Amino acid sequence: MPLLMPVLLASLLFSIGIYGVLARRNAILVLMSVELMLNGVNLNFVAFDVYLRDKLLSGQVFTLFLITVAAAEIGLGLAIVLLVFRNRESSQLDELRDLREEDDPPARDQVADDEQAVAS
């Protein structure tokens, strides 16, 4: 079969996975989208392995490894999501705003606060 078929399929799966990562609010849905991306990559590996008739079968072996890593990752990822859910009562990514920069920078006060904290 033409090489382009599996390869294009893999690219499209990857792009759909990107859309899912960026556009879904629920953390678990984001993890699902990451799985989509990984599957696209896997398909790409296998397709090229078969095309190149690799003696070492490196593409397929890599795919196996990738599946394993994906499984490990999803285990840990879910543990983190659970922790976050426990602490914040929400699994919506929008509501995790600790990285936000406030409009009024407390620059001057921070120094004074640090000094007070040290003194006290």
Partner 1 sequence: MSVVEVLFGLLGVVALGSALLVVTTRHLVHAALWLVVTLGSIAGCYLLLSAEFVAWVQVLIYVGAVVVLLLFGLMLTRAPIGASNELDSSRGQRLAAAITAAGTAAVLVTSLVDAFHGEHIDLSDDRVAGSSRTVGQAVFRGWVLPFEVLSLLLLAALVGAIVLSRRDISAGPELTRSQETGR
Partner 2 sequence: MTLVFVTVLAPFVAAVAGLFLGGRWPRTQVPIAVAGAVVSLGGAVVLAVRVAVDAPLQDVAQVTTVHTGAFDIDVALRLDGLAGIVSVAVAVVALAVQVYSSDYLKGDPRYSSYAAFVSLFTAAMMLVVFADDLFVLLVGWEVMGVCSYFLIGHHWEQADAQRSAVKAFVVTRLGDVGFLFGIFTLSVAAGTSRITTILGTSGDGLSQHTATVATLLLLCGVVGKSAQFPLHTWLPDAMAGPTPISALIHAATMVAAGIYLVARLYPVFLAAPTTLAVMAVIACITMLGAALAALAQDDIKRVLAYSTVSQLAYMLAALAVGSATAATYHLLTHAAFKALLFLAAGSVIHVVGTNLMPDMGGLRKAMPVTFATMTVGLAALAGLPPFSGFFSKEAVLGAAEESARHDGPVASWAAWLVLVVGLVTVAVTAAYVTRLWLMTFFGTARTAVAVHESPPAMRWPLIALAIPAVGLGVVGNRSLLPTWLGLPAPTLHVGLVTSGLSVLLAAAGFAAVVVAWRLVPASDPMRLASLRPVLEHAFYVDDLYDRLFVRPVRAATRAVRWTDDEVVVATVAGSGLGATRLAVLLRRTQQGNVQTYLTGLLAGVVILAVGVVTLT
Which residue ranges make up the site for partner 2 (CB under 8 A)?
18, 21-23, 30, 93-94, 96-101, 103, 105
Contact call for residue 112 and partner 1 (CB under 8 A)? no
Q: What are phi and psi of 28, to 5 degrees?
A: -70, -35
Question: Residue 19's CB: how many other CB atoms inside 10 A?
Answer: 11
> How buried is 2 (Cβ within 10 angstroms: 0-12 exposed, 13-18 middle, 19+ buried)?
exposed
**Shortest approach of partner 2 to residue 102 CB, angstroms?**
8
List the single partner that 76 binds among partner 1, partner 2, none, CB under 5 to 8 Å by kind.
Answer: partner 1
Quick one: DSSP state of residue 3?
A: T
List the single partner that 32 binds among partner 2, partner 1, none, CB under 5 to 8 Å by kind.
Answer: partner 1
